[in-house]
Amino acid sequence: MRVIGTAGHVDHGKSTLVRRLTGIDPDRLAEEKAREMTIDLGFAWLELPTGETIGIVDVPGHRDFIENMLAGVGGIDAVLLVIAADEGVMPQTREHLAILDLLGIQSGLIVLTKIDMVDDPDWLELIEQDVRQVVRGTALAEAGIVRVSARTGAGIPELIERVTDMLAGMPPRADYNHPRLPVDRIFTIAGFGTVVTGTLLGGMLRVGQEVEVQPGEVRARVRGLQSYKQTVEVAEPGSRVAVNLSGIEKKAVNRGDVLALPGELQPTILVDVHFQHLPDASRALTHNAQVKFFSGAAETVGYVRLLADEELAPGAEGWAQIRLEKPLALAQKDRFILRYPSPPETIGGGLIVNPHPGRRWKRFRSEIVEQLETRMIGTPAERVALAATNREPIKRAVLQKLVGYTDQDLEAAIQESVAAGQLVVLPDGAFMAADTLMQIQEELRREVNDFHVAYPLRLGVSREELRSRLNLKNATFTMILEHIDGIVSHNDLVRLHDHTVQFNANQEQRIQQLEQVFAAQPFTPPSYTEAAELVSQDVLHALIDLGHIVQVQPEVIFSRSAYDEMVQAVYDLIATHGQITASEVRDRFQTTRKYAIGLLEYLDAQNITRRVGDARVLGRRA
């Protein structure tokens, strides 16, 4: 499905041409008919000789309505640049041409209208020469020129044939499995409710799907779909679509909002862009300049932060971060236009490179510019790796949304990136940039090594403490621990594989004294505090880490041999009697209730035993 737009001056007969081509009057407002000029967006459709139906967006030509024009040209595939033969190129035509270039619209035809108003063939030749001069250096430099008269019908068959040939040579709109519809009209129909229209991008939309309007996170359901007045079950990317929504009121949607699947889009107030300044702009663009920002059908006020320049002269290009006054739902590779608010002037535009930078960049940082350049012009392999630089793994669907590739292109980019060592496929099928994974691994090794230096008598750092220091989710932390060389994770402690705890002679002597105390009274041993006073707290920590001593409660500790003997006895007593009580443990080992309760509560926490009333039975880890 394709959509083309008409552009040109208000008096060049765009709407009349559309009526002649389609039989549909794109001027729907009473004021438009009274003033005989297009004020807001007009829509029509045309069935080509091939049987394909294409949409036509008729945009306003008058300079007072240029901002309405910007809301309609964002989703078009090609343009008909309409120029009246009796008037020639007008200033507004030049502005439309500049906007089309900034929006990256590469295909189009130049339509010379009102030829019935010109009797002199030489005049038509002069007009065409003037047009060729104006479009030199633009995307329409090689565009064909078709002479037509909407009043008499002269040239209309040729124009339809040329449009058919132009669109036949274009690849179909890509399907990224992420449909989004920038809303350019909202209305209600009695008995049906809210209807929104726009040009569908990124994927198919189906009747019955739950959708979300952003900004606002307003949920609704697709009650019905129409494309070119035909009811459809599935709308294809690239087509003009009317979506009947249930569960949402008209006032909840505004022009410029975007309809997408739930969770697919997040509004942003900060965007990284590559900006092209128009050569005929009235002045240099300065840092923090206030502008009006247009993308898709949306607009807001913004402030331009130049990242690598003090200012941008007319005709220059550069990197910028734009702070928006209100959130917009934007995506990577969307095009944008900037205008000065007063006096109104289109000054340039370009490409949204990162719609969610997350923070303000410091200016004049070469690494930031290099990252943005990779996002914009890097190879597919480089771009998927860059999209996966987050410290948390990224799922395939999210990766596809970020880079905007079809299934086939995404798979090819992933394979190339993995083969080049730029991207890592994790065991769960998610992805992470190789550089990011390596950086996290180095941070982990450094944290563990620093811990060993600070606490040489500790066997290792606790998993949770290390995870918190690295600021990773538990699943990511576990995955990295399981696939990192030189690191050992055991009993909730993480250490370097060659780290060992070594005691000096004095510490060894005190450890022997503690062992003698434990041997003399294995089931009523000294408390944690008493043991720490004898060997020092660091040494006691080390003995617990090494497993020589088992700490069952903050103040209750046992030697490993005594603990193992007591656990085996608990097993045996439960096997004999089906259960065991704290009193039975106390009596079996001639100890006190404090030690018996401490042991059993610890075994409960380890799921070795399970409390049932006042007794214990075997737990699931017994």
H or E element that contains 602: helix 593-605
In terms of domains, do 142 and 58 share one? yes
Of residues 622 and 290, the one with the higher pLDDT is 290
Least confident of 64-73, 98-107, 140-149, 173-182: 64-73
Cβ(237)–Cβ(200) below 8 Å: yes
In terms of domains, do 20 and 151 share one? yes
Residue 41 lies inside a defined structural domain of this protein: yes
In terms of domains, do 188 and 332 share one? no
**Quick check: bond before 343 cis, omega within 30?**
yes
Distance between CA 306 and CA 315 in Å, rounded?
Answer: 15
Least confident of 61-70, 306-315, 415-424: 61-70
Cβ(290)–Cβ(341) below 8 Å: yes
pLDDT value of position 37: 37
In terms of domains, do 8 and 152 share one? yes
| CATH number, residue 282 | 2.40.30.10
Q: Which two tokens stand for residue 296?
A: 């898709």
pLDDT value of position 174: 78
Average pLDDT over residues 64-74: 61
If one counts the domains in the chain, the total is: 5
- Mark which of 121, 144, 168 sits at the end of a domain: 168
Owning domain of residue 16: 2-168
In terms of domains, do 214 and 304 share one? no
Distance between CA 535 and CA 516 in Å, rounded?
Answer: 13
pLDDT value of position 238: 87
pLDDT value of position 500: 87
pLDDT value of position 294: 92
In terms of domains, do 352 and 336 share one? yes
Residue 429 lies inside a defined structural domain of this protein: no
pLDDT value of position 424: 93
What 3-state class would DSSP assign to 583? Answer: helix
Query: Model confidence at 371, in pLDDT bands (50, 70, 90)?
Result: confident
pTM listed for this prediction: 0.70
Residue 425 lies inside a defined structural domain of this protein: no
- Mark which of 204, 230, 260 sits at the end of a domain: 260
Residue 173 lies inside a defined structural domain of this protein: no
Neighbour count for residue 367 (Cβ, 10 Å) = 8
Supply the DSSP symbol for 76.
Answer: -
Average pLDDT over residues 366-392: 88
pLDDT value of position 162: 94
pLDDT value of position 74: 66
In terms of domains, do 214 and 357 share one? no
Residue 580 lies inside a defined structural domain of this protein: yes
Average pLDDT over residues 492-515: 91
Least confident of 30-34, 291-295, 542-546, 596-600: 30-34
Residue 430 lies inside a defined structural domain of this protein: no
Q: Average pLDDT over the chain, rounded to whole? A: 88
Residue 471 lies inside a defined structural domain of this protein: yes
Residue 421 lies inside a defined structural domain of this protein: no
Least confident of 154-163, 299-308, 485-494: 485-494
In terms of domains, do 481 and 522 share one? no
In terms of domains, do 197 and 246 share one? yes
- pLDDT tens per residue across span 206-233: 999 999 999 999 999 999 999 988 899 9
Supply the DSSP symbol for 201.
Answer: B
Q: What is the identity of the amino acid at 360?
A: R
What 3-state class would DSSP assign to 159? Answer: helix
Average pLDDT over residues 419-424: 92
Of residues 289 and 406, the one with the higher pLDDT is 289
Query: Model confidence at 66, in pLDDT bands (50, 70, 90)?
Result: low
In terms of domains, do 288 and 253 share one? no
In terms of domains, do 287 and 339 share one? yes
Q: How many Å separate Cα 404 from the centre of its chain? A: 10
In terms of domains, do 192 and 125 share one? no
Distance between CA 87 and CA 78 in Å, rounded?
Answer: 24
- pLDDT tens per residue across span 270-314: 999 999 999 999 999 999 999 999 998 899 999 999 999 999 999
